[in-house]
Amino acid sequence: LTQRALGRSRRAIEGAAFLIADCNLPRSSLQWLHQCAKQSGIPFLVEPVSAVKVEKLNAILRRGAAIHTVTPNLQQLAALTGRDLRSLEATQQAARMLHDRGVLNILVGLGAEGALLSAVEGDGVRQHHIPAAQAKPQDVTGGGDAHVAGYVAGLVGGMRVLQAAMLGQAAAGLAVGSTETVSRKMSMKSLTNSLSALKRRVKEL
C-alpha cells in the first residue's frame, strides 16, 4: 500500500467516516493518510503494531500532528515515550505525554488487566481503567484487533469515547473467549450486553 496506490482511492478515503491505519504501512503512506484525514476533517486512529514500528508514528508526532486515537500496548507505549512502565501510575503519565504531543485519546491495551483510556476532555484529561471482559481467554489472537474494531464501531455509532472504549473491550472479550477466528457470538446485541456489565466495573483514576 504505497502512497501512489492510496492516491488512486483518494475519493473513497476522503468520504470515510473514520480512518484507521497501522504501522505496517510504509512511513510515507502513513503520513499521506494522516494528511488526508486532517484536510478532510476525518478522525484518524493509528495502531502501532510493534515496539519497533512505532517509530513511524513518532515521525508523525514529531511534526506536531493531531491524531484522534492511538492504541498501543504497554511495550509500544514505552517505546513511544521512552518510559519504564512498571506501574499503572507510570502508564498514566506516559499517556499524558502523548496528549502533549497532539494525541486526543490513548487506548492502552493491558492484556489480562483490560485497558487504560486516557482522553482529553475540555481543558483537562480524564483517565479510566476498563477491566477485561473475559476472565478465562481461550485464544488471545485477534483480541487487540477486536478491541480497536469495537471502539471505532462505537464512535461511528455516536457513542462517547469512554462508552466506545468499553464496547471495544467487550469485543476483545468475545474474541479471546472463543477458539474460532471470529466468534459466532460477535454481534452488537452481545457487545451491548457485555458493555452494560462492564460499566459497573470501570474506575476513574
pLDDT value of position 174: 84
pLDDT value of position 129: 96
Q: Is the pLDDT of residue 183 over 80?
A: no
The mean predicted confidence, pLDDT, of the chain is 90
pLDDT (tens digit per residue) in 41-77: 999 999 999 999 999 999 888 887 789 999 999 999 9
pLDDT value of position 23: 96
- Strand runs (DSSP E) across the chain, as ranges? 19-22, 44-47, 67-70, 103-109, 115-121, 124-130, 203-204
pLDDT (tens digit per residue) in 112-139: 888 999 999 988 999 999 998 766 767 6
Summarize the confidence of residues 86-103 as an average pLDDT: 94
**Percent of the chain having pLDDT more than 70?**
96
Global pTM reads 0.91
